[in-house]
Amino acid sequence: MKYENFIDKSYKPKKTDLVCKFRLKPNGFTFEKAAGGVAAESSIGTWTELTTEKEYMKKLAGIVFELKNPYFKVAYPIELFEEGNMPNTLSGIAGNLFGLKEIEKVRFEDIIFPKKLANSFKGPKYGIDGVRKLTRVKNRPLVGTIVKPKLGLNVKDHAKVAYDAWFGGCDVVKDDENLSSQAFNRFEPRLKETLRLKRKAEKETGEFKAYMINVTASGKEMLRRAKLVEDSGNEYLMVDILTVGWAALQDLRDINVNLVMHAHRAGHAALTKDKEHGISMPVLAKCSRLIGVDQLHVGTAVGKMSEGKTEVLENIKACKEELYGIKKVMPVASGGLHPGHVEDLYKIFGKDFIAQAGGGIHGHPQGTVKGAMAMRQAMDAVVHGYTLKEYAKKHNELRIALEKWD
């Protein structure tokens, strides 16, 4: 079968088909031939006709059924994919296409899973509703922070920063994406000491506090750490989903631990930032959701990250849209945030999200406790219908934060 044989504009996708949308910029070839090449190389075809082709194989061909330059869509028969195997699914769809000579640039824009394939994955154990039940935060976004500096603190100082944030009003505190078990801050001592101060903060504030400790490591070590976290009595883990890989992420979801999975997308921009080439964040979000993360970084639309409002809304939709009864993922806004951003964040995200401010809490002129207070005050203000400026008149911590950053 030639590349052109994988195009059928009259084809109507079946409910059992997996449908993908691509953006394409050909390299010296027609748009149609390059699009057909994507469908061929990601299903049963290759660059030349084969003597080993069989007639019965044709029903397994990916079919380009819509071409609206620069976009096209491909319908893949469900039989091309192994149930519950995300590495196989993405190797098939996003394997050879990025290297084809017929293509200058191609972007994997969207993916629509058929019900049978989607339900072959475990999905989130907790999701938005489970996170709210666990944290006992019902009617507002969760307030969080990242321990800063991201690297360099010893165990004692790391735990103290976390405690100060919890005491000041943060619901959640997490490790940064590149803290694992370096010599200056080993995993086991950090877990023990930070949990000790987490429990102290819970007793003193009367609120649930979450510690998202980063278990990112090689496969066996990551699973060992996850079980250690559960055995310690903690409720959360954090993992860098792209650097550990899809297989390791599935293994982490599959082991029998009852931990909320907080997903950091470290490295995503290498795939998502170029609007003409790579893989979009909604695709990554949908795949992560099917595997079973409960919380996922989706950008901010404000702060230091490059994604705008439209992109962030698309990422949020991938986390929350109805998907065959699969639980919804809690979106996380994180990256260059401070209390002055909360009004905009609330308008963009709504009630169900986590607002994580790192430098915007620990950089408060009066320290971490006051910084956490300011962030919580900002959230209380918008939830109850006040402007930040109005609320700051009677809340000194928020006033000082706004004077510094807003």
What does the pLDDT profile of the chain (406 residues) look like in tens digits? Answer: 788 899 999 999 999 999 999 999 999 989 999 999 999 999 988 878 888 889 898 999 999 999 999 999 999 999 999 999 999 999 999 988 898 888 999 999 999 999 999 999 999 999 999 999 999 999 999 999 999 999 999 999 999 999 999 999 999 999 999 999 999 999 999 999 999 999 999 999 999 999 999 999 999 999 999 999 999 999 999 999 999 999 999 999 999 899 999 999 999 999 999 999 999 999 999 999 999 999 999 999 887 878 899 999 999 999 999 999 999 999 999 999 999 999 999 999 999 999 999 999 999 999 999 999 999 999 999 999 999 999 999 999 999 999 999 8
364 neighbors 404 (Cβ within 8 angstroms): yes
Q: Active site includes 262?
A: no
CA distance 71 to 280: 14
CATH number of 127-405: 3.20.20.110
In the chain, the amino acid numbered 197 is L
- pTM value is 0.95
Phi first, then psi: what are they for 99, rounded to 5°?
Answer: -105, 0
First to last CA, the chain: 60
* pLDDT of the residue at 96: 84
Question: Rounded to an integer, what distance in angstroms lies between the CA atom of residue 295 and that of residue 237?
Answer: 10
pLDDT at residue number 48: 81
Of 148, 198, 209, 327, the catalytic one is: 148
Whole-angstrom distance, CA of residue 92 vs CA of residue 70: 22
Which one of 73, 174, 209, 264 is the catalytic residue? 264
Cα→Cα distances 209→38, 112, 128, Å: 48, 36, 16
Spatial strand order of the sheet with 172-174 comes to 210-212, 172-174, 142-146, 354-356, 330-334, 295-297, 260-264, 236-240
Radius of gyration of the chain (CA): 23
Considering the chain, tell me which residue range(s) the CATH 3.30.70.150 domain(s) occupy.
3-118
Contact 38, 97 (CB under 8 A): yes
Residue 148 known to be catalytic = yes
Tokens standing for residue 114: 């058929």
Domain with CATH 3.20.20.110 in the chain: 127-405
Q: How many CA atoms lie within 13 A of 3 on its CB side?
A: 16
Q: Do 107 and 274 meet the contact criterion of CB atoms below 8 Å apart? A: yes
- pLDDT value for 107: 97
- According to the model, what pLDDT value does residue 2 have? 85
Angle, helices 246-254/281-291, rounded to nearest 10 degrees:
30
Paired tokens of 274: 């170029």
3-118 belongs to which CATH class? alpha beta
Residue partners of 286: CB distance under 8 A and separation at least 6: 111, 113, 318, 323
| Residue written as token pair 């044989």 | 5
pLDDT of residue 53: 86
Residue 46: what pLDDT?
A: 83
Q: What is the pLDDT of residue 15?
A: 97
Distance CA 25, CA 147 (A): 42
Contacts of 322 (CB under 8 A, 6+ apart): none
